[in-house]
A and B are shown apart, each in its own frame.
Chain A
Amino acid sequence: MSAPETDIGIDPPETPHLIPPPPRELKLLVRDWRRGRATKRLGEALQDAYVAVIAALMLGAMVLNVILRAQRTVSGCTSGTCLSSRALLPFAAFTAAVAVALAVSRLFGPVLASAAEGFWLLDAPISRFAMLRSRLVGIVLAATGGGAVIGGLVSALTGAGVHGVVAWAVATGLSAAAAVAFAAAQQGIERHRLTRVVSYGFGLSAVVALLAVVGSAAGWVRLGISADRSLEVGLIMIGFSGLVLLVALVIAARRLRHIRRTRLTSGGALVSGISGAFYALDLGLARDIVVERHAQEVGHVTPVRGRSTGLEALTWREWQRLRRFPQPLFVVLGTVVIPYAAEALGMAAITPVFAALALFAAMIPLFGGLRVLTRTGGLARCFPFSLVQIKIAVSTVPGIIAAVWAVLVAPAFFAFGNADGRTFAEASTMAVATAAAGLLAGMRWTTAKGVDYAKPMVATQAGALPPGLIANLFRGFDICLLVTAPMLLGFNPIWSLVIAAIAGMFLFNTTDLETMQARQAEQRKLLEQQRKQREATINHGKQGKR
């Protein structure tokens, strides 16, 4: 018996000592290829899109004009509300910008690469530092610009002077950039817990700052912060953010060379998925992609035994899902502030609209179960219930939360701020109607079907569009406006409840709209068969006579 082949020693083949090209050369090569295939120069493309360019310029000028006018008007205001807003809102924008920058960075990378780059470039023995450093600098610069716009805008709209606007624009821009650099440094060692904790901390600070503005406007607290002190705080934030940015950027750059390919391409895949969903204006799909990514990150959970049987099992499971990931509940609780803030700031007439829109946005994550059960139909088919029953079962928990929300915001509508003359019953009805608007809008947004490109297109001035493409953008907002319109126009809020009830009936029965369509199709088939039978009988009779 001969010895197995594995026992024979074989040396690996000699690999030739090749010197890989610098990434810059590779990038230039790719750019040359792309340019070689381009059919237009940038100037030509802009000439072709001159309508869009002029429209953007005009719109930009108008927005700038509105901001400057608002800034001049608000800067004249010396009431306690205006002063506290001027002092605190830029700080709230600053902390919110950091929280958002950290959250978005953690979601996407922040340093990322497309799947093609991952396969073709990152597989080669080239320096990742050299390849990715310009990308890191690019996203940090983008964050600086975005943060500066937000910071400048908020401080301008609160009536701050030029120095204040510039200081807070720079501070917010630098802080957003520092947040991105910090997240990139954490990405380099594949740790995200600290990024998450810092993000929550800054988010909480933003909420506290907003609450302080509301409390000051309502006269609950007296804030002795002057505009000068606000400017000083802004300057301190510039120094602090700049220092953090510098340190984080150096650390992030040093860690770029060790960053794993999967950590780069996963963010790229997410971006391409989300951009595809946005291109189809399918916001639901974009959210599904993010939710799926989060679930993949979590990966494993401790299983929890269900409760009860039948439809109740579905409702209990929704409650258990919420207990597992309770963050959406905190967001709903956060929106309780909105009607109080709106009333305190003297915007009583539009409080229901603002509050309903805020609740609508906060309710969407609570309808995760409804989304999964309605987006394809495959899972719902496994359950021995009608779709109406399933919808009711999985909407029960969000419904209870909306009811609690109505109770919590009812005082905002009654004898708070400028809400003089409202009876308790009227204020309670307004709170319930506003909660119903937010709840139903969330439900409508969640159950939106993706655009069906297989259906006949509709001819528009913008070209052929599939039906429902644009309407999908307004789903949910339409319910908010429809239900709150009577309150906005000063009618009895009972009318809002009536509209909400009708909208609810439609939303819960959409399914059975499909059943009705199926029945109609069946009836049409039956009528067609009867017609054919009658024709056959007549023809048979005629042949008999011949």
Chain B
Amino acid sequence: MAKRVSVLKVSGLRRAFGPNTIFDGFNLEVRAGEAIALTGRNGAGKSTLLRCLVGADRPDDGTIQVCGNPMSETSPEIRRDVATVIDDLDFFPDLSVVEHLDLLARAHGIVDPDASVDAVLEEVQLVPQSGQLPGTLSSGQRRRLALATAFVRPRKLLILDEPEQRLDTEGVAWLANRLKSERQQGLAIVFASHEPALVEIVATRTVELGAPRG
């Protein structure tokens, strides 16, 4: 069996806030078709680690490489390859749901943006809300829109922080199947989750951060 390509390589990562060390000497390698679930209790450092992986936070030590390139949030190549859904996603207050997705698809040079946007919109069940402005969406709908931004564009690595948050039961089941399908198509996925069913269906490996639950 051919060796899969390494998409993300993390070596000796360290992050501390003052005297409180969140993680130290953290190593991780994720290959295409692998899904890593980060688990652990609240405050274990899952979100901090993911923020470091996407470049939203700077580690105190260690290196992160995406497809062989050092991680830099400002690099267009990294932005092209890495799709993220973490809590700092913002929306244009005066652009509708469908216009956000259309803009993103066009910015990534997708050949038929209308078809891609329609398909994703259908999948995240936001067709009735397509003309709504983000400020009027419920928290669950905003989450679905955030997930749609990751699925409407090309990607090699998907980084998600508790993607099941605010989704209903049906939505979590859809997300699990969607992520499993993405992984099977060769996408590398790193996600933090508190939802055992999602971890069970999607993850090929689980990394528990912080002290284990007593």
B107 CB, min distance to chain A CBs, angstroms: 5
What separation, in Å, do the CA atoms of A305 and B96 have in the docked complex? 11
* Chain B residue contacts of A299, Cβ below 8 A: 132-133, 135-136
* Chain B residue contacts of A386, Cβ below 8 A: 74-76
Give me 16 other A-B pairs in contact (C-beta within 8 A), A295-B93, A384-B77, A384-B79 excluded. A295-B133, A295-B136, A300-B96, A300-B133, A301-B133, A305-B102, A305-B114, A309-B106, A313-B103, A314-B103, A321-B95, A325-B94, A372-B93, A378-B88, A381-B56, A386-B75
A386 CB, min distance to chain B CBs, angstroms: 5
Q: Which of the segments A45-53, A59-67, A217-225, A513-521 contacts the partner chain?
A: A513-521
Whether A310 pairs with B95 at a CB distance below 8 angstroms is: no
Whether B55 pairs with A292 at a CB distance below 8 angstroms is: no
What separation, in Å, do the CA atoms of A302 and B77 have in the docked complex? 34
Whether A379 pairs with B91 at a CB distance below 8 angstroms is: yes
Q: Does A20 contact B (CB under 8 A)?
A: no
Q: Does A544 contact B (CB under 8 A)?
A: no
Q: Does B140 contact A (CB under 8 A)?
A: no
Residue of A294, A303, A377 touching B96 (CB-CB under 8 A): A303
Whether A378 pairs with B108 at a CB distance below 8 angstroms is: no
Q: Does B113 contact A (CB under 8 A)?
A: yes
**Dominant SS among interface residues on chain A:** helix
B95 CB, min distance to chain A CBs, angstroms: 7
Residue of A295, A373, A521, A522 touching B135 (CB-CB under 8 A): A295
Whether A385 pairs with B136 at a CB distance below 8 angstroms is: no
Residues of B whose CB lies within 8 Å of any CB of A are 54-56, 58, 61, 70, 72-77, 79-80, 83-84, 86-96, 98-99, 102-104, 106-110, 113-114, 130-136, 149, 153
Q: Does A352 contact B (CB under 8 A)?
A: no
A452 CB, min distance to chain B CBs, angstroms: 14
Residue of A309, A321, A387 touching B107 (CB-CB under 8 A): A309
* Chain A residue contacts of B55, Cβ below 8 A: 381
**11 cross-chain CB contacts under 8 A:** A292-B93, A303-B98, A310-B109, A378-B89, A381-B73, A382-B89, A382-B149, A383-B108, A385-B76, A511-B74, A515-B74
List A343-383 residues whose CB lies under 8 Å from chain B.
368-369, 372-373, 375-379, 381-383
Q: Does A291 contact B (CB under 8 A)?
A: yes
Q: A300-B136, A303-B98, A518-B58 are in contact. Are A383 and B104 (CB under 8 A)?
A: yes
Whether A302 pairs with B131 at a CB distance below 8 angstroms is: yes
* Chain B residue contacts of A303, Cβ below 8 A: 96, 98-99, 102, 130-131
Whether A306 pairs with B102 at a CB distance below 8 angstroms is: yes
Q: Does A539 contact B (CB under 8 A)?
A: no
* Chain B residue contacts of A324, Cβ below 8 A: 94
* Chain A residue contacts of B113, Cβ below 8 A: 306, 309
A509 CB, min distance to chain B CBs, angstroms: 11
A92 CB, min distance to chain B CBs, angstroms: 31
List A383-422 residues whose CB lies under 8 Å from chain B.
383-387, 389
What separation, in Å, do the CA atoms of A397 and B132 have in the docked complex? 25
What separation, in Å, do the CA atoms of A299 and B135 have in the docked complex? 7
